[in-house]
Structure formats: structure tokens, C-alpha cells
A and B are shown apart, each in its own frame.
Chain A
Amino acid sequence: MRFDIEELGPTASKVILVGRLDSTTVGGVETQFTAAVVAPGRSAVLDMRGLEFLSSLGIRLLLSVARVISRRGGRMVLFGTRPMVAEVLTAMALEEVLPMVGTEAEAVARLGA
């Protein structure tokens, strides 16, 4: 599992996730990921196109980051989520907390909604 960050402007970042976010990989990225994504007043769109696999520990990390972003005045929106990863998030009724849209443009638009 690895991630990259691109600035989308003064108030938002794009986080590109690649690989598997599961019990064997979360521990290796958790601290770095949280520190990199969370910043006061900034929102984030997560590019999920390269995320092949998500388990409950990965969900826990995304949930934790979404909450911190929210409490600091930002939003987090996912886009391009693969079907099985989306099925997992939907099965856990997480669409409200981790909203998913199709494209980066939709995700950015959703930040301002």
C-alpha cells in the first residue's frame, strides 16, 4: 500500500491510494497517512481507482481521518472506488461518512457543496 498527495489549491488535496489497505498494511502507513492528509481547514478527495482491497482496519483509518478533517472544518470525498471496495463500504452503511462519487471533478464539486 502506498499513497501520494497532490495539492488541488489552497484548501484541498488529492490523495492517491494504491494497493491494499488491510490488516497487514495499515500499520505501515497509518501515522504518515493521517499526518499527510489532515491539515486545519483543508479538505481531501481520495483517488480510490488504484485501491485494490479494503478491510475493516483500512475503513477504520479512513473513518478516523474523515472525522479529524471534519472537525477541522474540511470534508473528505472518495472517487473512482472499485466495485468490490464500494460494496464493502456500502455493506457497512458508510456512504454518509465516506461519500463516494465517480470522478475527480464530482469529488471536488462535492467539497464545496
Chain B
Amino acid sequence: MVPEAPTLSLAIPLAREGLAPALDRIEAFLVARGAAEGVRYKVRLVLDELLANLMAHGRFAGPPPPIRVEVAARQATVLLLLEDAAEPFDPRLAPDPPGPPSLADDRLGGLGLPLVRRMAEIRGYRRLPEGWNRTELAISAG
């Protein structure tokens, strides 16, 4: 999957109670590899957004199997690989909201994926032969 870097592999149950411990474990992995605080924040944010999005909107053929996550720390960049069994969804194609929210409008949702795109580079998406989505992201400081 992600070569030549210390890698952490996790299977994260798609349930709110499983998310915080998994994110804590990923953070500890990144701390041990010297990842900067800003990078760690972005990693946690991107995973929180993508997994919350799957919980809210992912459509599965049956009970959702755990999401497969790989985290690789490579110098100043963290590479994330997510695999899920939901219906096909390419996060690169989701539209941005028409403009920033205002006090006058009633728009509330739809901020998650735009935020992911601002905090991470989505390096790839493809549908695996087994019928899973595979999304690759890179997160750097700055």
C-alpha cells in the first residue's frame, strides 16, 4: 500500500464509540514519529470528517464492515489510505458549497468534504475489484 515508511494499519468499526480510541492511537503513532502538531491536527480532522461522513451518508449492502486505514509518516508528510465498503464515492467530485455560510442563510451542513480538501491533498481514488472504495490522501504542514 504505502511503501518505504513506518506504517500503522487499523480496522476502525464504523461507530462513534470506536472512533476516538482509533484517532488517539493514530495520534500516538504520529507523535512517536515526530509529526508536527499541525500535521497531527489535520490528520485527526480529515479522518474525523471522512469517517463521520461515512456514518451519516455511506450506503452499505449490509452491516458496514470496519474501515481499513493505513497511516504512514514520511518526513513532513503523512499519507493516509482509507478503504471502505460503501457504495462508490469519489471525494474529489463532491461539489463545494456556493460560498461561505452567512448569518442570513440557513445552510448548516456540507462543510466536511470542503474542509478535507483544504486540509489534505486527495491523491487518488479508485474502486477496488472487491467492491470497496480506496482513497489516498497526503497531509503536510503549512
Contacts and interface: CB of A to CB of B under 8 A. Distances in A.
Interface of A: 22-24, 27, 53, 55-57, 59-60, 63-64, 66-67, 70, 83-84, 87-88, 91-94, 96-97
Which 10 residue pairs are nearest across A and B when measured between Cβ atoms?
Answer: A23-B52, A93-B100, A56-B111, A56-B112, A84-B41, A91-B118, A70-B103, A55-B48, A24-B20, A60-B108
Contact of B111 (A24, A53, A59): A59
Contacts of A70: 103
A64 B118 CA distance: 22
A63 B99 CA distance: 15
21 contacts: A22-B48, A23-B19, A24-B16, A24-B17, A24-B19, A24-B20, A27-B16, A55-B48, A57-B112, A59-B111, A60-B108, A64-B108, A70-B103, A88-B115, A88-B119, A91-B115, A92-B100, A92-B115, A92-B118, A96-B102, A97-B101
B44 interface: yes
Given A23-B48, A84-B38, A67 B114 contact: no
Given A84-B41, A92-B115, A66 B103 contact: yes
Interface of B: 16-17, 19-20, 37-38, 41-42, 44-45, 48-49, 51-52, 55, 99-103, 106, 108-109, 111-112, 114-115, 118-119
A61 B106 CA distance: 12
A56 B114 CA distance: 9
Given A24-B20, A27-B16, 8 more contacts: A23-B52, A60-B111, A66-B103, A67-B103, A84-B41, A88-B45, A92-B114, A96-B100
A59 B100 CA distance: 12
Contacts of A27: 16
Contacts of A88: 45, 115, 119
A53 B108 contact: no
Contact of B49 (A55, A64, A97): A55
B115 A56 contact: yes
